[in-house]
Chains A and B, each alone.
Chain A
Amino acid sequence: MKKRLCLGMIMLLSLVFMAACGKGSSEESAKGIKMYMTVSSGDTFRNALMDTAKKKAEEMGATLDTHDAEGSLEVQLEQIREAVKGGYDVILCNPVDVDTTLQLQVEAGDIPMVFWNACPDESRLEPNKYVFVGSNEEDAGKYQAEYILKRFEKEKSIDVAIIRGQAQHPSTLARSNALVYNLKKSGKEINYVFDDAADWDQAKAQSVYEIFLKTGQQPDVVACNNDAMALGVIQACKDNNVDLKEVEVLGVDATADGCAAIEADEMKFTVLQSATGQGEYAVKAAARLAKGKSLEGLDYLSKDQKYVWVPFEPVDASNVADYE
């Protein structure tokens, strides 16, 4: 009896295993699938993302309805209930508050969800049911490191200054750690002549950098966690007669001011979170979840299958015109 039970369990296990192995991954159609997209509140970036998502959904044969929660958690919960009642197959949710993810999931019941723009805690995500589509903050730091290494390819040692966002902010840590890690991996001698936080703020960055300038040191490159702080550094250089040709200032975000600074050849490099890329992949992931299919084989899927990391896009003088 026990042997038979054991045999039964072995068979069950192998069935599960086989089922897990037998999935295709071609560019699929999503004919007839109903998608419900809710945004915490629309801004330029999110609206662009939603427009792309809607276009992509139509291209794949699905219907996608967008709704704005206008910053209200209650409205968003009501929207999720509406999606359940409306018989939608999948919900694309930009949570008003990531700490309320569990409540959103409870309201959605069995409907799979794709979170976007704001990332819930890892423990709230579940492969093939609750996934996050966004850009990996670490990529921003990685791209900065790649730019630096390419720019100073011939130098044995590079003097680097880092201007960070708020010290404990996850984006600060992810961007800075990735930058440092990738520079270290190159094997070059990297001297961090300055490394301090300026809390994402342009004025603070300017004042911090002015203090640093008093040490009389001149870094090869100043890598900032965002464009605003990069602009602060540029201002500090201008005010102290530092030739911006002698120092490469890098930012993140590709804001309008940042792009203008690149255009003016004051800032050299920034990276952009791709609204179109995120919109496209949110819909691709949603289509698979709606059909009950695994995300396996989807580009940029993380190993644990909980995240789809749409890459940042590097912006420099050669392509800045595309992003203004």
Chain B
Amino acid sequence: MKMKLISAVLPILCIVLAVLVMFSYSISSNIIERESSELLESSVSGQSASIEAWLDKNLTAFSAIKQTIEKTAPSQEELQAIIDASAGYDSNYPEGVYIGDGSGKLWKSADSAKTAEGLTESTWYKEGLTRVNMKYGTAYQNAEGKNLVSASAILNDGSDPLRVISADVSLERITVIVNSFVQMSDAEAFLIDSGDNTILANRDASLISTKLDAAEDPYLQKVAKRFEDRDYTRGTLDGNLTVFQEIAGTDWVLVSFVPKEIIFSDINNLRMKMILISVIAILLLVVITERCIHIVIRPVRGLTKSISAMSEGDFTVSVKTNGNDEIGRMSSSVSDFMVAIRGMLREIQTIAGRVAKQSSNTNQVSDGMYNVAEVQADSMRELTGTVDELAQSINEIADSATRLAQVVADTKVTSDQVEDYMTRTVQVSEKGKQDIQQVSVAMDNISQSIHSLDQAIGKVGKASEEITNIVSVIGNIAEETNLLSLNASIEAARAGEAGKGFAVVASEIGKLAQTSTESVEDIVNLIGDITRLVNETVDQAQVSMESIDESSQLIQTALGTFDMIFNDIHSTSDMIQEMMVKVNEVDEVATNVAAISEEQAASTDEIHAASENMVEQAQNIAASSKEVLSDSRELSDEAAQLSQHLEKFRI
């Protein structure tokens, strides 16, 4: 118990403290690093300003001398005087200015140890030729082995050959300046000529005038890399916080650095102290926790004993209840709990007994219920079968009714057509009747015409008789004429010669009478023929008259028959009309019947579905009652078990 608590608390404590220490360490180290960088930067910029000012002051002095010489165009003596005056004027350039030309001639102050040897090859001279304004050049060693930087330029005084004016500043001097102006404690600075990476100033004098690239120190190598990339941003190089600052007016770069370990020495110290305090705090907390737990758990022990007895089923033990703290209250609660449990257990015993009894009753009841439910389910199943058949029959009826309705509808269409035909038949027979009437009228007309013909023929007969009479008259005349001619011929023959002429006439007249008699006989014959023909025609007309009369009578009879047919057709049409009405009625009824049968079929389907549901329900009920049965059996088993368990408690 004790160990468990401590082992739970201890790691958390350690983690929290470790996080706290790390957190505050990283924040403080960030702050310190930033502040140190800023301090270093302000230090280096102040320092570079001082160096710039120092360089500038000297350069201004040199420029002033140069200007003087250029403007005044001095004679040799005057020039020497100016040069001598510049020497010893300022400790920064003790030897003053000097002048050289391409021919190797040198003008210098009296104190100067400078020689004209190798003048045109010297650094100051060659550099001087590349500018008109005075400027510091690169570092070099003079003949005496001194490290120097010269400020030089072309002396623009119109002289020929060109002359170069120059003045030397020693690198040691610059180093002093660089080192003296460091404004941050523990920081160092050095000066590099970025043109050729020469170290111009350094605390380590042996490095002065050497090349940065050749340095063996790893830090300087890293700095050299920065110069190679011309990367003058602040950064940490080889554990040193480093800042760069270009010196205006020169190619020089001031590098200032401070080792990080110096910056962080305080913070590391702080970290150590914090860790120490944390460890002590942890140890102290462990001891205090252990003691507290010991005091707290003492009364809990007695209580634990009682509770273990309780867990074994002994509710007869007593519990000490003293104190008013959580533990005391817990003890009295446990005591109350025990009393309550005792009462409860007793009640449970009684209830268990009752439950056992009731569950056996339930057993019986549910058994019965299950059987009943089974029967019900079977009945329901049968009912469903019946309803199913019923549904089928009704569906058939519905189908038949639908078909009947269809047939009736078809019949209706056919009757409509018959009606149409009938109407047309009536119209046609009426037309027929009218036609026959017209035939009858025509027959009457024919009969009258024949009558007229008969009469006309009669008149022809009379005319023929009159002609016959006239012809016979003519025949008589011709005979008398013939007699006369004979008489005349006889008389002529008596008259002799005189009557000869007359005898010819009389013979001619006799001939004529003869001819006339023959013609009369022909005419009589012809008229006889005509009369016979006319009589025949009259007979024929008579026969026609009779035939026509007969036809007329027949037509009259046909007309009567037509009337009868017409009447019959009319009554047939009426009957069909009536039949149509009936058919319509039947159609309506059949349609209604079909609809009703369909509804009935649908209803039956519903009843069928409902009865199937009922079957399912009945089966469910049966299943449920089975479950109830098994549950009640379990209940009675459990009631028995409960009674057994309760026997274990001592109360």
Contact = CB atoms under 8 A, between A and B. Distances in A.
Contacts of A168: 248-249
A212 B153 CA distance: 11
A6 B153 CA distance: 66
Interface in A171-217: 173, 177, 180-181, 192-197, 208, 211-212, 214-215, 217
Given A167-B249, A215-B162, A2 B130 contact: no
Contacts of B249: 167-168
Contacts of A150: none
Contacts of A173: 248
A3 interface: yes
B131 A195 contact: yes
List the 7 closest pairs (A to B, CB-CB), nearest first.
A196-B131, A194-B130, A181-B230, A215-B129, A196-B132, A195-B130, A208-B132
Contacts of A217: 129
Contacts of B16: 2-3
Contacts of B160: 214
Given A168-B248, A215-B154, A192 B19 contact: no
B15 A196 contact: no
Given A168-B248, A193-B129, 17 more contacts: A2-B16, A3-B15, A3-B19, A173-B248, A181-B230, A193-B130, A195-B130, A195-B131, A196-B130, A196-B132, A196-B135, A196-B153, A211-B162, A214-B160, A214-B162, A215-B154, A217-B129
A192 B130 contact: yes
B23 A6 contact: yes
18 contacts: A2-B19, A3-B15, A6-B23, A180-B195, A193-B129, A193-B130, A194-B129, A194-B130, A194-B131, A195-B131, A196-B135, A211-B154, A211-B156, A211-B162, A212-B154, A214-B162, A215-B129, A215-B154
B453 interface: no
Nearest to A215: B129
B133 interface: yes
Contacts of A196: 130-133, 135, 153
Interface of B: 15-16, 19-20, 23, 129-133, 135, 153-154, 156, 160, 162, 195, 230, 248-249
B181 to A, nearest CB: 20
A214 B130 CA distance: 11
B147 to A, nearest CB: 22
Nearest to A9: B23
A14 to B, nearest CB: 16
Contacts of B135: 196
Contacts, number: 44
Nearest to B19: A6
Contact of A211 (B23, B132, B230): B132
A87 to B, nearest CB: 39
A217 B160 CA distance: 15
B437 to A, nearest CB: 104
Contacts of B230: 177, 181
Contacts of B23: 6
Contacts of B248: 168, 173
A2 B132 contact: no
B446 to A, nearest CB: 114
Contacts of B154: 211-212, 215
A194 B156 CA distance: 14
Contacts of B156: 211
A171 B16 CA distance: 56
Contacts of A193: 129-130
Contacts of B195: 180
A197 B130 CA distance: 11
A258 B16 CA distance: 71
Interface string A6-17: 100000000000
A194 B127 CA distance: 9
B19 A197 contact: no
A196 B131 CA distance: 5
A192 B16 CA distance: 65
Nearest to A3: B16
A208 B132 CA distance: 7
A145 to B, nearest CB: 13
B105 to A, nearest CB: 16
A141 to B, nearest CB: 12
Chain A CB within 10 Å — which of B16, B23, B130, B153 has the most? B130
Contacts of B130: 192-196
A220 to B, nearest CB: 15
Contacts of A195: 130-131
A52 to B, nearest CB: 32
B20 A2 contact: yes
A137 to B, nearest CB: 14
A308 to B, nearest CB: 19
Contacts of A214: 160, 162
Contacts of A211: 132, 154, 156, 162
A178 B641 CA distance: 101
B277 to A, nearest CB: 16
Interface in A254-309: none
Nearest to B15: A3
A115 to B, nearest CB: 22
B63 to A, nearest CB: 12
A124 to B, nearest CB: 18
Nearest to B228: A185
A167 B248 CA distance: 9
A208 B154 CA distance: 10
A171 B248 CA distance: 13
A195 B132 CA distance: 9
A215 B162 CA distance: 7
B545 to A, nearest CB: 123
Contact of A197 (B15, B20, B133, B162): B133
A167 B162 CA distance: 24
A196 B63 CA distance: 14
B134 to A, nearest CB: 10
B138 to A, nearest CB: 11
B152 to A, nearest CB: 12
A194 B130 CA distance: 4
A211 B156 CA distance: 7
